[in-house]
Amino acid sequence: MLAVSVARFCISPHSAPIIQVHLQQPRYHIEKLLTELLDLITDDLSLDDFSSLRLSCKTVYASSLHSFGITFFSERVCILSLPSLGNIVSISKHGKFGSTMRELDFVADVPPEDFVEVTKGLTVLRQKKAEREIRALIESKAAAEDEFHKAMMAQAEATGRKNEGTLSQMLVEAFENFPKLKAIRFYQATMSPTSTRTYKKSSQVAYASCCFQQILTAIVKSGLTLEKLKTVTKP
């Protein structure tokens, strides 16, 4: 993914143009340079050298996509919220990256009812900027999860169908473009599915059931073939 960038350019009536070339930018930047600059840059290059440069850029770029996909997209954790689901759908739409997805975890957690409200507008003095940014990120994530939870349950109540809705629709679109996805895990990090007492008392059970049913619906509708489908207590 190399390309040519011009670091210094000078023309005077008493000297030839001075151009310093650095091979440091992604290859697509070379295609954005003005034709006049490309002519100056390649003036001293033979046709073979220039062709080799462009061929190298395209080859490196193309070959690196699969490795990049394996590194960053073969295993993903999707905390159920619209932003997180949107990321999964975006990955699926990229031909190279969608084909690298192997394992996918779904987390259907609901923040404590008072958490979102209590943290709104809360100001902690003498916090470092990094700490404030981290706290803001946590609050934003909790708010997104809470919003998704309420929307899912409202939709299920309105339609009377827990196994179909926004979640299943988005996942069908994603699963159809994950041909190598073989393992799906589903869990709630804040509650233990091994505790009958916890399940009987928890208000999260209906939400977890709704999410899991829609994931199953998406698997069936997309024609996805899995080797593992598990409910677990932690990632």
- Counting residues of the chain whose pLDDT is more than 70, the rounded percentage is 57
C-beta separation of 154 from 206 below 8 A: no
Q: How do residues 48-70 score in pLDDT, each as one tens digit?
A: 666 666 666 666 566 677 777 88
Distance of CA 156 to the CA centre of its chain: 27
Token reading at 147 = 């919003």
Domain ranges for the chain, please list them: 3-70, 74-116+142-232
pLDDT score for 116: 47
Q: How do residues 137-185 score in pLDDT, each as one tens digit?
A: 888 888 888 889 899 989 988 988 888 999 999 999 999 999 999 999 9
C-beta separation of 84 from 141 below 8 A: no
Token reading at 53 = 């440069």
pTM of the model: 0.64
- Counting residues of the chain whose pLDDT is more than 90, the rounded percentage is 31
Q: How far apart are CA 170 and CA 168, in angstroms?
A: 6
